[in-house]
Structures are given as structure tokens and as C-alpha cells.
Amino acid sequence: MVGIVVVTHSAVLGQGLRELAEQMTQGRVPLAVAGGIDDPDHPIGTDPVRVMTAIEEVQQGDGVLVLMDLGSALMSAETALDLLPPEVASQVRLSAAPLVEGLMAAAVLASTGADLGAVAEEAQSALAAKRELLGAAAPAAPAMPSAHPEGARDSTVPSSAMPAGEELTLVVPNRLGLHARPAARIVTALGPFAADVQLVRGDRVVSARSVNRIATLAVRGGETVTFRAVGGDAALALRAIEALAAAHFGDAPEAPSKGEAPSPAEAPKDGDMAEAAVSADVQGGGVLRGAAASPGLTVGNAVWYRPAFDAPDVAPLADDPATEVTRLDAALGAARTELVELERRTVAAAGRKEAEIFAMHRLLLDDVTIAGAARQRIMDRREAAESAWYEVISDAAATFRQLPEGYMREREADMVDVGARVLRLLTGVAAVGPRLGGPSVLLATDLGPSDMATLDPSLVIGIVTVQGGATSHAAILARSLGIPAVAGLGPALQGVGEGDIVALDGGTGDVWVNPAPGVRAAVEARRDAWLAGREAALAGAAAPAVTADGRAVHILANIGSSADAGAALKNGAEGVGLFRTEFLFLDRTSPPGEEEQLTAYVTAAAAMQGRPVVVRTLDIGGDKPVSYLEGFATGEDNPFLGLRGIRFCLERKPLFMTQLRALLRAAAVHPLKVMFPMVAHPGELAAAKALLDEARATLDAEGMPHGQLDVGIMIEVPAAVALADQLARDAAFFSIGTNDLAQYVMAADRGNASVAALSDALHPAVLRMVRDTVRAGHAAGIPVAICGELGGNPEAIPLLVGLELDELSMNGPAIPRAKEVVRGCDTGTCAVLADRAMALPDAAAVRRLLQGGS
């Protein structure tokens, strides 16, 4: 296979290019990076010896293609050829192709086994489609006033001028159109493909690989758009988009639920709100009206929160632009790490759908029209990183602010949120949240998702904003956190002073400032009634889930840290069915030690107040690599079929022993159960239990207190289902991971957009695996749980009751609804439903059955 070498002045840039290429090719292509020089104070540069070493590293007899960025990179590459033996140098080709596009094109073609000449030609022609498109384009639309890298601009291109390729025309099915999160899903779906994909709405054409550009098209639900793709895998790329559209681009297909706040377009008219007001006296006494953003009533003292996104106080010009680009990239990387943690915390507190906001923000960080434009300003105008970033974000935010559609205008807050995060990291100025001395009504011009994720619902009892609406991300998170909110009050809110008494009704959008005593008493009385109803709902969540015919189904929580345990308990969790310990190991430079792990396990168990806690041992690999573990998951052609789960732990005995010792010690303080992931056969279970015994022996020898651990396994591999009767002899319980089981049963990588639809846990083949696992477990007298996402799906719960699952474990926010569904089930009726589902041909048919169809 042809090898590829990237020569770049920046080691950070080189690593990023490597990650891009390996994502496109799953690491199949020999690829080496010669980036930067060994000078800590001045790391930017190129080194001929590094280039020579990189060429030797990837040379496999089929030749090496070398791509370079600029300046001395070419001289270093030429010098490296002089240093190599002639027989090696003769098989090396230096390419004038553009670095990023050329690398992507070359890597994809090289992965097919093409020869050096073909790979070099493919790299050289990488910009052909882009040049053709831009050469025929009409003047760019003024949608983004900041500078952009080539190919990132909007254009108004007649159909006849578009390059030939594949085409997909569809009607956008989701109610809110291609807003930010569907845009993020489109970009993610296209990730595995090399094709150049454009999105067309009327006369405007934008890159379908840019969250920002898609969002600025402001495509509404019901509109017709066209995706056009050019490239070898264009048809596959469009097939992935077609599958995504069939799933409503990830949005719920139904109309807003009864409890969902209306969008501004659906908000009550003035006359309707007059009827819903507390009294006629209130209507005559200074009521302000905004958008009903999150239901509930509250009264409290106003506190203003004004997060800063001001022009940075730094020298505008940069002495060394390359260093400034490196600083910007480092800040972008740190921002991604912060967003990963925010996403994890939001999944635990509010649910996976709400957490998608932060995944979208990560894509904004990587958007060529944002980060690329900032880098270009730094290099072209020699601006400091802070100044360039501030100007690009300000221009982008202004673009959203000027859009006619209210929903798209609300995306300005997301842009500012992302911009402020990176600017804070660049300047080193610590984030300052709202300072609350007690329960308060928070007033703000607008709130971004990051602001919302850090709020304490016990202190923030209400939210009122000048801008935004019921569909803003702040409103979505306010509803998930149960905080009453009114948005879009306009300039009138600016007249409210710090400490004024504010009453609000988040269900009608009404706000009263310093209300008369009678008005305040009426609002407080309605608030008391609302809180009583909410407490009753939580009390119901705390009660056991028992079917109508008297069968108990235990409902537990999936958590990622000890901090998540308390929130799970509030949602009514009867214990923890899955503690994902891998979160302790991610986003750091070294593994957690025994004491750190011990503290995390004890804290989580203590928070559950004696309820059962199942801890899954380290489950990394596949889509969860750990960079600091040298050699781990490097070059695996099929990482989901490689060294992951228990396989990895058995290979890394010292790392595994540290975790087992911490778990045994934690069990001496609070009862725990341990669960091994990815077990495929009895030999792996026996090996893991032997190491657990060895860890116990070392603690005995040291006189360290420890407790007993019930040992169970995850059922994720078809082989484990086939051998479930044997595994049940040595396991105290089974827990089915439906996410992985589905992808292995269907031979469909759930991270590959072109086949992800096949990886569906509702497929009858997967359901039959669940049935067989339950039967084997019950025959051996052990309980069987589900801890995959299927367990928290309200539609699927009757099916799982019919399959006789003993426990369902899910994200905390899904627990109250799951218990309600279980209480409405009859075991016999559900068993008939399960039999019918397993007789159907595919997941779509099962879904129709669960939705009441035939």
C-alpha cells in the first residue's frame, strides 16, 4: 500500500491532519507526520531528518507520497530525499497538492490499494470540483461578512453551472427545519465520506459539511432542498443523508407535546393571555409579555447576569503569526474538552437530546467558516489570536442576528457562547457566573447553553431574557431543569433594576415587576399549587414500578460519575445499573490512581443511600480511545472488533488490578457489584475473576480492608448469547448492552452513517437475542437487566416487560416516565406483543407495531 507523509511547520496541525485522515480511512493507510522542530521555545519549523524518518516509517514497497504546507517544508522534503538511499528516494513523490484536501483525497484512494501514480494524481486534482464551482459562481451572498477560506463561502450558482455528480432532492420533514442540531447531524453523517457535498436552497449553495453555513440557510420545515455530491463515494454520502432525513434529521416527528412550551409563532395571542392572567387587576397593572419558554410560576428578587464578550484588551498585531495560530488551536482543543464534560453532565441532568447542544458547539469549533477564518486572519493580517477570533465570531453572530426567521436569530447566542469560551481560554480570564446570595430570578440579555449548564436550580428559581424564544437552547435546558422561564421580553426588561421583585408565569409568558400585593399573593398561590403537583410527580417516581398484574420491574440509572448519582436518586432511581467508569479515564494525561478511583466509587455508592450500585470495569476501545495509553488502538483496522472492553483489561493487567483493588476496597464501605464488559466466552470471565481473586489476595497481604463483590457480565456479543447458559454458571447477573449488541448482531458499525440505520436494537434479530439471554439467565436463577438506550425508550418498555427483563437501567431523566409505562403494563398482554414483534421482518415494522400500527 502507498504510504503518505505530511510535512508541516506545526506538530499540532500535523496531528489534526492525521486524525482527519485516519477517520476517513479507519487507520488503514500508513501515515506519518513530520511536524515542528525540537525547540520548546520556538517549535514552529521543519526538520529534514524528521522527514527522512517519517518516509522510512511508512515505506512498504509501494511508494510514498509527501505533502507539504509551505516555505521550508519543501526544502526539508527535498533534503530528506538526498539523505535517503537512492533505491528508497526513487519511490518517493513530492506533491504540490493542497495540504488538507490533497491529504484527504490521497488517503482515501490509497486505502483502496491504488498505485503511487494514481494516488498522486488524485491528490493533485483534489480542488478540481471546488475550482469549477467557484469559477462559475455568481458574486457571493453577503451572509458572512468575515473572511473565509477558499470554498467556504456561500454562492448563488445556477443548476447548469454546478459540477456533475449525484443529487438528492427532498422535503425537509421536521417541524423546525434544518436548525443547528440537524445541521450538526448532517455534518456528522458526512464525516466518513470523501465526497464534496453541497446543500442547495433556491439560488443559494453552501457546503453541507459546515454547521454554520447550513444553519444560515434558515431552511424551514416543509421546504424542498437539494443535496449535490461530487466524488467517488457521492452516492453513499447521499444515501446517508437520505436515511437521516427519513429519521426527521433526528428531531421528533410528532407535534409538540402537551407539556412543551409553544414557539413564538404559536404563542398565545394577547386576548388569550388576558384570559390566562391571574386577575383583571393584573392586566391593568404593568404586565410585560414575552414568549412562554418554560412552564411554572415564581416570585423573587431580580439578579442581572451579563456575561462578557467584549473586544479583548491585547495588542492587535502579532509578532509571530504561526505562534498565534498554535495558541488558537490549543484554545480550541481546551474548549472541546470543556464541552465534552458539559455534554456528559447534561446527559445525566437533562437527557441525551438536550446534551446534543454541546456536540453541536464542538462542531462549530471545527467549522471551516469559523476556526478557518480566524486562522486566515491571523496569517493574512498578522492579528493576535484573541483579536482574530473575536472579529470572526462577532461577524458570524451578526449574520444570525440579521436573519428574518426568529428561530435562526436565536442561534446568535450559541455563536457568542462558543466565542466567549475560546476567548476566555485565550486571555486566561476566568469565567464569572451569576453571583447569587439566595433564590433569585435571573435576568439576562440572553443565555447560552454553557451558562445554563452551570446554573444551580436551587438558587435560580426563574429566568427572564431580553432576547431568545421558546425554541432557544436556553429555553430547552430551562424546561429540562424545571426552571420557569420567559424569553424575548425586549428592551422593556432593561428597565428592571437589581433587587426588584419579579413575578413570572413561564406557561403564559407574563412577567410582573414589583407587583401589587394582591397580584403577588395570587402568583404565589398558583406557584404553591404548581410545586405541589411537581412534588407529587416526583413522589410517584420514587414509588416502585409494578405492572398492573403485580410484577415488579426494577428501574435503575446509568451514570458516568459520582456527581450523577444524586440526580439519578431525585428522579426515582432504585439503584445504579451501570456506572460507566471510563469517564474517570478520559480527557486526562494519565490514568486515575487507586485512591482517586476509591473515592469516586464510595461517593457514588453513598449518594445512592444503600441502593444497589453496579460498576462496570473500564470499557474503552472502539469509539472510546485513550491517548495516554501508549500503543492502544493504534492502527486497528476495525477497532470495534479489536482490543476493547475486557480484552483490553486482560492485556493491561496493572491498570486492571488498580481498578479491581479500588472496587474491592470500596465494597468494604458500601455494597457494590462489578460487571465486566465485552465478555465473549467463559474463558474471559474466568480470567477476569482470577485477577479479581489476585487483587483480593494482595489486599489481604497488605492488611487492607475490602468487601465482597457480586460479579456479573455485559451481554454485548452474539457469542455471549450463544454461550449464555455456560456463562450463567459463573455470573451473578447479566446486563444486556443493546447498543453494542445491535451493531454486532447486524454487522453494522453504529458510528458509520451509511449503515447506522441497520444498528437498531428494535430489530427482531436483536430482540430474539434478548429473549434467549433472559431465558438462559432465568434458567440459572440469575436476574437479567438491560442497560442500553433501549431500556429508557418508553415505546419499547412494554416489549421489554413482555420479554421478562427483571431490571431496566437508563439515563436519570427517563426514569419517571419509564415507571409510569411499567405501571400501565399487563405482563400477559406484553408477552403477546413481544411474540408479535419477534415475528416481524425488520425494526421499522416493530416500531410501527409499538406505535399502534399493524
pLDDT tens by residue, 537-588: 677 788 899 999 999 999 999 988 777 788 788 889 999 999 988 878 876 7
Q: How many residues does the chain have?
A: 854
Q: What pLDDT, on a 0 to 100 scale, did the predictor assign at position 849?
A: 93
pLDDT tens by residue, 676-687: 999 999 999 999
Residues 173 and 69 both lie in one domain: no
Q: What is the largest CA-CA distance in the chain?
A: 94
pLDDT at 16 > cutoff 70: yes
Q: How far is CA 522 from the centre of its chain?
A: 42
Residues 336 and 443 both lie in one domain: no
pLDDT tens by residue, 153-163: 344 444 444 45
Residues 142 and 119 both lie in one domain: no
Residues 481 and 438 both lie in one domain: yes
pLDDT at 172 > cutoff 80: yes
Domain boundary among 427, 453, 484: 427
Q: What pLDDT, on a 0 to 100 scale, did the predictor assign at position 271?
A: 31
Count of domains for the chain: 5
- The answer to which of 49-53, 85-89, 204-208, 431-435 has the lowest mean pLDDT is 431-435
Q: How confident is the model at residue 282 (pLDDT cuts 50, 70, 90)?
A: very low
C-alpha cell at 470: 421558546
Q: How confident is the model at residue 777 (pLDDT cuts 50, 70, 90)?
A: very high
Dihedral of the CA atoms 692, 695, 697, 702 (nearest 10)? Answer: -160
Is 313 within a domain?
Answer: no
Residues 401 and 512 both lie in one domain: no
Domain boundary among 402, 427, 452: 427
Is 532 within a domain?
Answer: no
We report the CATH number of the domain holding residue 151 as: 3.30.1340.10
Q: What pLDDT, on a 0 to 100 scale, did the predictor assign at position 411?
A: 67
Mean pLDDT computed over every residue of the chain: 81
CA distance 476 to 478: 5
We report the CATH number of the domain holding residue 597 as: 3.20.20.60
Q: What pLDDT, on a 0 to 100 scale, did the predictor assign at position 807?
A: 97
- Tell me the pairing of strands 501-505 and 297-304: antiparallel
> Among the ranges 221-230, 363-372, 756-765, 786-795, which has the highest mean pLDDT value?
221-230
Domain residues for 168? 130-250
- The answer to which of 60-64, 278-282, 512-516 has the lowest mean pLDDT is 278-282
Is 288 within a domain?
Answer: yes
For residue 787, indicate whether it is catalytic.
Answer: yes
For residue 830, indicate whether it is catalytic.
Answer: no
Distances in Å between the Cα of 80 and the Cα atoms of 5, 75, 164, 390 are 12, 9, 40, 40
Residue 615 has φ and ψ, to the nearest 5°, of -105, 120
Choosing from 649, 787, 825, 830, which is the catalytic residue? Answer: 787
CA distance 456 to 454: 7
Question: In whole angstroms, how large is the CA radius of gyration of the chain?
Answer: 29
Choosing from 9, 148, 361, 473, which is the catalytic residue? Answer: 473
Residues 343 and 421 both lie in one domain: yes
pLDDT tens by residue, 453-485: 667 778 999 999 877 777 666 776 677 677 899
Asked whether the CA dihedral 756, 760, 766, 770 is positive or negative, the reply is positive
Distances in Å between the Cα of 77 and the Cα atoms of 33, 115, 560 are 12, 21, 47
| Section 90-95 average pLDDT | 90
Element (H, E) at 52: helix 48-58
Q: Which of 691, 696, 739 is nearest to 714 (CA)?
A: 739
pLDDT tens by residue, 728-764: 999 999 999 998 899 899 998 765 545 666 888 999 9
420, 309 contact by CB (below 8 A): yes
| Percent of the chain clearing pLDDT 90 (strictly above) | 33
We report the CATH number of the domain holding residue 520 as: 3.50.30.10
Residues 608 and 674 both lie in one domain: yes
Kindly provide the residue ranges of all beta strands, DSSP E only, lying in 259-410, ordered along the sequence: 287-289, 291-294, 297-304
Residues 480 and 557 both lie in one domain: no
Could you give the 3-state DSSP secondary structure of residue 685? helix
> Residue 589: what residue type?
T
Is 314 within a domain?
Answer: no
Q: Which of 285, 308, 306 is nearest to 494 (CA)?
A: 306
Is 40 within a domain?
Answer: yes
pLDDT at 263 > cutoff 50: no
pLDDT at 657 > cutoff 90: yes
For residue 52, the tally of other CB atoms under 10 A from its CB is 23
Residues 327 and 214 both lie in one domain: no
Terminus-to-terminus CA distance in the chain, angstroms?
Answer: 52
CA distance 656 to 619: 11
CA distance 124 to 556: 56
For the whole model, what pTM was predicted?
Answer: 0.53
Is 540 within a domain?
Answer: no
Could you give the 3-state DSSP secondary structure of residue 291? strand
Bigger pLDDT: 787 or 629? 787
Q: What pLDDT, on a 0 to 100 scale, did the predictor assign at position 772?
A: 97
Residues 671 and 785 both lie in one domain: yes
Asked whether the CA dihedral 318, 324, 327, 329 is positive or negative, the reply is positive
Could you give the 3-state DSSP secondary structure of residue 574? coil
Is 278 within a domain?
Answer: yes
Residues 605 and 697 both lie in one domain: yes
Is 202 within a domain?
Answer: yes
Q: How confident is the model at residue 143 (pLDDT cuts 50, 70, 90)?
A: very low
Element (H, E) at 338: helix 321-350
pLDDT at 312 > cutoff 50: yes
Domain boundary among 392, 427, 462: 427
Burial of residue 733, with CB atoms counted within 10 A of its CB: 0-12 exposed, 13-18 middle, 19 or more buried: buried
- Helices assigned H by DSSP within 172-300: 180-190, 211-216, 234-246, 270-276, 280-283
Kindly provide the residue ranges of all beta strands, DSSP E only, lying in 221-329, ordered along the sequence: 224-230, 287-289, 291-294, 297-304
Residues 292 and 226 both lie in one domain: no
Q: Which of 594, 593, 580, 561 is nearest to 661 (CA)?
A: 594
Q: What pLDDT, on a 0 to 100 scale, did the predictor assign at position 779?
A: 97
Q: What pLDDT, on a 0 to 100 scale, did the predictor assign at position 496?
A: 87
pLDDT tens by residue, 264-274: 333 333 333 33
Bigger pLDDT: 49 or 717? 717
pLDDT tens by residue, 207-232: 888 766 787 787 888 899 999 999 88
